[in-house]
Amino acid sequence: MSGFYDDEKEKIDRVGNQKSNLSEDISVKWKEAFSQIDYGIDVESSTIYMFGDITDGTLYDLVLRIRAVMYMRPDEKSNDPINIIINSDGGDVYEALGMIDYIQSLNVKVNTICRGRAMSAAALLLCAGTGIRAVSKNSTIMFHEMSSGIYGKSSDMKANVQHMEKLEEILVSIMSDNSKKDGKFWEEKTIKDYYLSPAEALELGVIDSIIEPKNKRE
């Protein structure tokens, strides 16, 4: 699990004359932290936050955030995995496919971590991670087939249907290539919304790990 994001930070000990600059250092750190959070990144842990619907521009934002992290992190961490924290109902399939193509083109591994839910297009992104694919204990995963409101001329509608069928083949191949089940299984299961608990997702090979709580009330 080396390089896996687990919400822990390195402890920094300040000694000697550095103490006089402690308040100034903290102020700078907080400003940097809030700036990064607003942009959806954490450079220190090589983490990208992807929350909300996948819409036009989500792919562009993801590429910018990953490039920003890779540019700003120190040289000694240049080969560390990128972590994408996902909490999304899904959305635009074209954007999701573009994100999958991008993370699979990188020279470093990409860990995909679901906290909350990863549904539809977001579930595809989760399972297509090139590093560790993990889910927090009480998260929800959902896969389903494509949906679209097709209208217009008869010839256009036929072309759209043919295009959707090709896209559906791509989605099924992503699910089968990144799980323990074949395409026929996913075609049958995703005719309707197919909800998975973390344990079920782990059994199917959609994810690699379940993030268990570190502290519980005794």
- Residue numbers annotated as active site: 120, 144
Report yes or no: 122 and 140 within 8 Å, Cβ to Cβ: no
Q: How far is CA 169 from the centre of its chain?
A: 22
CA distance to 37, 49, 75, 146, 156, per residue, from 207 (Å): 26, 18, 30, 21, 38
